[in-house]
Structure 1
């Protein structure tokens, strides 16, 4: 039985500064059906409050506890390990990490730095890794749908460069890490087998959720989706649907049996 729903944001609920047609009303339908929601986003350019403010402007009310981002997961990880961050992230995200001065060493934190990715910053991060800093990737997505409607390089390419140069493998805190999905479910009183994930990324959202043990994962044809994405990664999607509105139809139809 479907008892909880995890939703990606970029490419599922909105593109750029515009809600995807039918997405806001679809979320309302899920809430009216009594299904608890968590918004699980791999975005690493915007702080928590800015994402909530953007959703509110779209007409989607989201509680603090309903939004999970890799940055929030990284802050908790740094506190738990007593580490100080060396940031290779977008300037907008840097305030999320303020006041973290651990006594147990340093950790390189890599997110989508956008235009701030340059040789000097990558090289500084590389030297921190060579000196022994921990290596943390907020996400490893290959691409995202940019504001101009075209695909752009995402964090994964830069994480791979640092991994290759340093011969170090990162701890991945965002999707497709199983812990990321399971932490979203932790306070929902729902087993992974009774949850469904909706995303536009067949690798991180869909295959990642299914590997984490979720009962179903739906791939939408909005956002970064390209024809035949559903055939490129395993496990394959439970279903491929046009958009969040269609995903909501599927969820409500399959609430009793998945």
Structure 2
């Protein structure tokens, strides 16, 4: 029985800041049925505070305690290890790390930097990692959808540094098992009692299944036909949107599985 739901945000609850039809009501339905909800995201083009305010303005009902972000996980790791990061991140995300000592960097933190992924910045990150700095990333998302087009995410740039430096980045967001475990622990339930709903077959659904959660791929956001075939673990639900996913939890019927 599913007792908690983790919702991805961008592409699942909204697309280009327009709520997915029925998403606001779906979350309220989950709450009405005493299902614990959390909101988990690798989105890194805004601070946690800005993201929360944007969702509230769209009409979603949530609190800051219910939101777990990959940039937040990266910042916590940097603080716990007393690292001074070189932050290759989007300009709108810089305030998230502004209170950290970033002088004489001894770590590299990468999120979606958009135009910041230029040669000079990538080369600076490369030099630091080659000198021994750990490489921390928000996630391995390959792309996202914005303005009705697919856009490169942070994953390909992290992979480029891994290749150039012959290192493996430490991923703090999805699909890292530790990120899902933190989210599950916050619900108070066992992993198998928690459902992850996302539009990314790899980072959201495959990552959740590998961490022993349930997984649901929705056909909104970045989803493209055939994405369900990329999920290596069997048993994922594949449904049109978050509305059908929540309804499936509340009133189980038949959900199409990837295998």
TM-score bin (small chain): over 0.9
CA contact (8 A) 2:175 2:203 kept: yes
RMSD: 1.7
Q: Does 1:115 align with 2:115?
A: yes
Runs of 4+ displaced beyond 3 Å: 102-105
- Secondary structure class of the residue paired with 1:158: helix
Aligned to 1:43: 43
Q: How does 1:62-73 map to 2 (within 5 A)?
A: 62-73=62-73
Aligned to 1:225: 223
- Secondary structure class of the residue paired with 1:61: coil
1:240–1:43 distance in 2 versus 1, CA, 3 Å:
same
Cα offsets for 1:110-139 (capped at 9, x unmatched): 110012211111011111111111110111
Task: With the length of structure 1 as denominator, give the TM-score of the two structures.
Answer: 0.94
Aligned to 1:53: 53
1:40–1:71 distance in 2 versus 1, CA, 3 Å:
same
1:237 shift after superposition: 5.0
Q: Distance in 1 between matches of 2:186 and 2:159?
A: 33
Q: Distance in 1 between matches of 2:186 and 2:240?
A: 30
Cα offsets for 1:212-241 (capped at 9, x unmatched): 111x21110001111111111211452110
Unaligned runs of 5+ in 2: 254-259
Aligned to 2:208: 209
Q: Distance in 1 between matches of 2:174 and 2:104?
A: 26
Q: Distance in 2 between matches of 1:99 and 1:57?
A: 27
CA contact (8 A) 1:82 1:103 kept: no
- Secondary structure class of the residue paired with 1:91: coil
- Secondary structure class of the residue paired with 2:86: strand
Aligned to 1:106: 106
Q: Distance in 1 between matches of 2:87 and 2:63?
A: 27
Give aligned pairs, total. Answer: 253
Aligned to 1:188: 187
Aligned to 2:169: 170
1:177–1:118 distance in 2 versus 1, CA, 3 Å:
same
CA contact (8 A) 2:205 2:215 kept: yes
1:20 shift after superposition: 0.9
1:105–1:153 distance in 2 versus 1, CA, 3 Å:
closer
Q: Distance in 2 between matches of 1:80 and 1:103?
A: 17
CA contact (8 A) 2:17 2:58 kept: no
Task: With the length of structure 2 as denominator, give the TM-score of the two structures.
Answer: 0.94
Unaligned runs of 5+ in 1: none
User: Which stretch shifts more, 30-39 or 97-106?
Assistant: 97-106
CA contact (8 A) 1:218 1:240 kept: yes
1:254 shift after superposition: 3.8
CA contact (8 A) 1:142 1:157 kept: yes
